[in-house]
């Protein structure tokens, strides 16, 4: 039976590979991988029929063309039949357009196609920074998208801005942040947060002996920060949310009814 499995290899080579994904890779007829060198070596040990798609970046001009070439090659492998496994770094559904697109196209051809999750940078961020979205809430945007399309910021919840290195990359063909755009982003944020509000430039640890990068940077100094392709900006809550007595009254509930210890722990109060 011809089918496509799109899987995530996690952030750390080998260590983040789930049992489910490992079994899918091992049992596939072909594995096409968009991962770094060490991850590729590890995948080849699991299944020798593994080939890299990293050369798509060299063959195509620009990121969009590279992604289209990845989709084309995965579909070409599917045309030959059997179980094809497409493996992507991290979580295959998070900031990975080719993974979603190849599933759409495979299904449009009447083929079985399914995505299997992997450990993402967000998972690492929650663990390393101790950020629990259940406590304060969490707003999550791609940095360029956040700047171009104004959002209503909630300063009572954490704000996470991904792919900071792509900020200002209007032609989608380079991988470093534009300082002028970073400064402009900081000015947008300073409409809701004070200039001395301390943010965190975060990068997940890639290898077992590495430490995550968790660099404190005030908004006023954000333009001086160094951003790599792995950098994420985390803006912590500024104030605590105010309880809505009006909403409680609709249901006949009093604020004192919410004083259970479990609820207080959830809110961090």
Spot the catalytic one: 12, 30, 89, 116: 89
Domain boundary, last residue among 119, 139, 164: 119
Residues of the chain falling short of pLDDT 50: 261-262
DSSP string for 213-263:
EEEEEEGGGGGGS---TT-EEEE--SSPPPP-HHHHHHTT--GGGG--HHH
CA-to-CA distance for 199 and 251, rounded, in angstroms? Answer: 38
CATH number of the domain where residue 38 is located: 3.40.1010.10
Structural tokens at position 214: 């968790």
158 falls within a domain: yes
Residues 49 and 90 in one domain: yes
Inter-residue contact 94 to 120 (CB < 8 Å)? yes
CATH number of the domain where residue 221 is located: 3.30.950.10
Structural tokens at position 66: 């590279």
248 falls within a domain: no
Residues 229 and 143 in one domain: yes
Residues 108 and 145 in one domain: no
pTM assigned to the model: 0.89
269 falls within a domain: no
Residues 50 and 134 in one domain: no
Q: What is the pLDDT of residue 170?
A: 77
pLDDT in tens, 170-216: 776 666 788 899 999 999 999 999 999 999 999 999 988 899 999 99
63 is catalytic: yes
67 is catalytic: yes
Residues 104 and 150 in one domain: no
Residues 64 and 113 in one domain: yes
What domain range is 153 assigned to?
Answer: 122-235
CA-to-CA distance for 92 and 216, rounded, in angstroms? Answer: 29
Phi/psi for 253 (5° steps) reads -105, 140
Q: Which residues of 118-156 are buried (b: 16+ CB within 10 A; e: fewer)?
A: bbbbbbbbeebbebeeebbebbebbbbebbeeeeebbbe
Residues 8 and 95 in one domain: yes
Spot the catalytic one: 12, 30, 42, 67: 67
207 is catalytic: no
Total number of domains in the chain: 2
11 falls within a domain: yes
Alpha helices by DSSP H, listed for the chain, are: 19-27, 37-46, 56-59, 63-79, 97-108, 121-129, 133-136, 143-148, 179-189, 245-250, 261-267
254 falls within a domain: no
Residues 41 and 114 in one domain: yes
Spot the catalytic one: 63, 72, 174, 267: 63
Residues 96 and 128 in one domain: no
Residues 102 and 179 in one domain: no
Domain boundary, last residue among 91, 119, 147: 119
226 falls within a domain: yes
Residues 69 and 161 in one domain: no
């Amino acid at each position: 039976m011809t089918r496509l499995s799109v899987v995530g290899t996690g952030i750390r080579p080998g260590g983040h590979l789930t049992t489910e994904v490992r079994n899918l890779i091992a049992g596939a007829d072909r594995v096409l991988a968009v991962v770094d060198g060490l991850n590729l070596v590890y995948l080849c040990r699991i299944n020798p029929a593994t080939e890299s798609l990293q050369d798509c970046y060299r063959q195509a001009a620009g990121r969009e063309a590279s992604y289209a070439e990845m989709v084309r090659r995965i579909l070409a492998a599917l045309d030959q039949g059997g179980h094809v496994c497409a493996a992507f770094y991290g979580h295959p559904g998070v900031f990975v357009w080719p993974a979603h697109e190849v599933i759409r196209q495979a299904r449009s051809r009447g083929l079985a196609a399914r995505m299997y999750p992997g450990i993402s940078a967000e998972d690492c961020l929650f663990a390393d920074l101790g950020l629990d979205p259940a406590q304060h809430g969490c707003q999550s945007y791609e940095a360029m998208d956040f700047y171009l399309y104004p959002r209503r910021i909630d300063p009572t919840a954490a704000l996470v801005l991904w792919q900071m290195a792509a900020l200002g990359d209007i032609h989608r063909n380079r991988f470093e942040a534009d300082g002028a755009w970073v400064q402009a982003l900081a000015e947008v944020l300073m409409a809701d947060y004070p200039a001395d509000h301390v943010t965190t430039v975060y990068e997940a640890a890639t290898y077992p002996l590495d430490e995550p990068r968790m660099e404190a940077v005030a908004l006023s100094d954000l333009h001086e920060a160094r951003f790599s392709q792995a950098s994420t900006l985390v803006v912590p809550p500024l104030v605590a949310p105010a309880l809505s007595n009006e909403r409680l009254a609709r249901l006949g509930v009093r604020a004192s009814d919410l004083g259970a210890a479990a609820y207080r722990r959830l809110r961090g109060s």
